[in-house]
Structure formats: structure tokens, C-alpha cells
Amino acid sequence: MPVITAVLGDITTQDVDAVVNAANTGMRGGGGVDGAIHRAGGPAVLRDCIARFPDGLATGEAGWTTAGEMPARWVIHTVGPNFAAGERDRALLVSCYRRALEVADELDARSVAFPLISAGVYAWPFDDAVAAAVDTIASSTTRVAEVRIVAFSPDAYDAVQRALAARRAR
């Protein structure tokens, strides 16, 4: 099990081997975390997305590209379920975390920074989004040593901290 920490900040500035992108199925950039990663990484991220994923990615799947100009070496893109659009199968959200960690293992990444997948514009119920992240990462068999769950707001950071403390108390 990796060491999991909550971080309040910007995922694009994390000095880790890989950052995880909450992408859309088209893999061509977008809003939220996806837009921030594409802006921070520069055009190399989009070029790699087009080359590696000409048909995009399915919900729950993951794949990697360069991180371009970010401190990380790779971006692991995963497509979360869009709760607001009716994609409500929690197994798809759990799959995002599992598949991203499997890709990290394929890359021999030792440190990975995750956002809270589907918790933004895709409107997954927030407390369950946090629980899915913490429980899936904590129960994984990954070789990744350090996982950061990067929260953009103080409220999200506090929620991740509470979930991690509750997990440790079990």
C-alpha cells in the first residue's frame, strides 16, 4: 500500500513521477483539471494525446502521455463517469483509480498525484468521490510508493484528510 497524503494545491505543480488527469473521452483537453493540465503541460500533451489516443478513451480506462512542461514526467489520463449525464456506475469511478495505478506500475512510477476524479463538473456526489479515491488507492496492490490526493479547495482538502484519518483508524 502506498503512503497516501492530502495536498492542498495545484496538481500541475506537483513534483511527482506522474500526475493523473481527469480527462474526457475525446482526450483533446477541456475544462477543470483537464484544461489546467493541458495549459501547464503545453502543446506536447495534446500532440501525445492525439498520437496515442486517436479515438479517445472509454470511461473508466486510463493511458499515459508526456507531461510536457510540468514538473512530472508523465500524465496518466483517465476518464471518470459523468454523474450529471447519467453515468452512475460507481465501478467506473473505482476503475479510474485502479487503471491509473496499473498504468503507473507499467511506467515504474514511484510517486503519483491524483485529483478527485469526477468530483467537479461531472458532479459525482462529493463524499462518495472522496471515499472512492481513498478506499481504492489504499486497498491497491500498486508498487507506487507515494500517492498524493491533490485538492484544489480547503473544503476538499479537509474532506480528504478526514477520509484518510478514518481509514487509518480502521
List active site positions. Answer: 34
Task: Spell out a b/e string for 4-43, using b for 16 or more CB atoms within 10 Å of the CB, else e.
Answer: bebbeeebbebebbbbbbbbbeebebbebbbebbbebbee
Burial of 108 (0-12, 13-18, 19+ CB in 10 A): exposed
